[in-house]
Amino acid sequence: MSQESFETGFMESKILEIKNNAAAEINNAKTLKELDEVKNKYLSRSSELNNLKKGLKDIDPAMRPKIGALTNEVSKEIECLIKEKNDVFYFEELNQKLVLEKIDPTLDGTYIKKGRVHTLTATINEIVEIFEHLGFSLIENKYSPEVEVEKYNFDLLNTPKEHPARDVQDTYYALNAKHVVLRSQTSNSQVRQMENSKPPIRIISPGRVYRNESVSARKNNLFHQIEGLCVDKNIRFTDLKGTLNEFIRLYFGSSRPTRFRNSFFPFTEPSAEVDVQCIMCGGKGCPTCSGTGWLEILGSGMVDPNVLKGVGIDPNVYSGFAFGMGVERLTMLKYAIDDIRLFFNNDERFLKQF
């Protein structure tokens, strides 16, 4: 054997040995990290194969192409084996993920609670919408404060100093500020509106009111009212009646019997209360309607000339009507709810029914 062929034969067998070792180590690699180490060992710049390539210049030029080609071929093969094994790891990992993240469409979903508008707010919105349809506008908040002075809650509403509604048993007074009350009615907003604007006026004013009552199924010390006011030339009682009848028809539907009843309020003359037939007994008489068959839903009347005068509107030129209705009462009547406290207890089982 010549010196060259011996040298070439040695190199060839060395290269094949490297290839076999690499193949075995690739095969044995258990993790990506181990595979990386093998890759580094056999394919990096300082690998045995690379060193052999660098040594090519020292061997017989005639042999160089053969050995050169063999080194290249073997490093390609090793690269290929590594890639294959890498794919194996990749798909194993993917399969594991798919198993872990498998979706079971038969499992219960996560229930996401939806927020909702409170029943009373819904009634207010509905009523305001009806009156907007009839040509009324929502009052500006600044004319409808809940903390009020007696002047707007009582004086300008033509309510005498000795009127029982002013009694601390009916109205909440501020302890440290004389004449300051939590408003007992939304009627304060009508005088504030009239004081700050000129007729024609047609406003609707919803809000909270407070009364010093003991709480029961029929009474709460906080409740809601909606006030309405219309002032212009030639406003008559028939306008009041027509407007309220239309409201009742739109809110309750035409089938609910209603009646206007003579009444008294210090700020209206004449005054009327409106009743609807009791929803609990259908008019036969029951504890809810105290045996009368009727339930009162609102107070109303023609604005008293004294009230117009008090806010600088000439009662010889202008006239008006006003009304105030209880939001809780109207909601209870529509849905046959028999306890006002349900609105304020925040029991979702009740609230989510509407």
Residues that bind ligand DAH (CB under 6 A): 185, 187, 227, 265, 268, 299-301, 322-324
Q: What is the DSSP letter of 167?
A: S
User: Closest Cα to residue 271, out of 241, 292, 250?
Assistant: 241
Smallest gap from residue 313 Cβ to ligand DAH (A): 15
Smallest gap from residue 185 Cβ to ligand DAH (A): 4
Smallest gap from residue 180 Cβ to ligand DAH (A): 19
Please, what is the angle between helix 119-133 and helix 237-252, to 10°? 130
Closer residue to ligand DAH (CB): 42 or 321 = 321
Q: Are 173 and 180 in contact, with CB atoms under 8 Å apart? A: yes
Smallest gap from residue 223 Cβ to ligand DAH (A): 10
Smallest gap from residue 233 Cβ to ligand DAH (A): 19
User: Closest Cα to residue 324, out of 125, 117, 127?
Assistant: 127
DSSP secondary structure letters along 196-247: HS-SSEEEEEEEEEE------SS--SEEEEEEEEEEETT--HHHHHHHHHHH
Which tokens is 272 given? 């009327």
- Residue 323 is which amino acid? F
Closer residue to ligand DAH (CB): 119 or 300 = 300
Closer residue to ligand DAH (CB): 42 or 251 = 251
Q: Are 218 and 313 in contact, with CB atoms under 8 Å apart? A: no
CA atoms of 223 and 209, how far apart (whole Å): 6
Q: What is the DSSP letter of 286?
A: -
Which tokens is 323 given? 């009304």
Closer residue to ligand DAH (CB): 51 or 137 = 137
Closer residue to ligand DAH (CB): 8 or 189 = 189
Closer residue to ligand DAH (CB): 322 or 337 = 322
Question: Is 68 in a helix, a strand, or coil?
Answer: helix
Smallest gap from residue 116 Cβ to ligand DAH (A): 29
Query: Which residue has tokens 């408003």?
Result: 183
Closer residue to ligand DAH (CB): 326 or 343 = 326
User: Closest Cα to residue 209, out of 158, 148, 281?
Assistant: 148
- Strand-pairing partners, residue 302, are 321
Smallest gap from residue 268 Cβ to ligand DAH (A): 4
Q: Are strands 147-149 and 201-210 parallel, antiparallel or unpaired?
A: unpaired
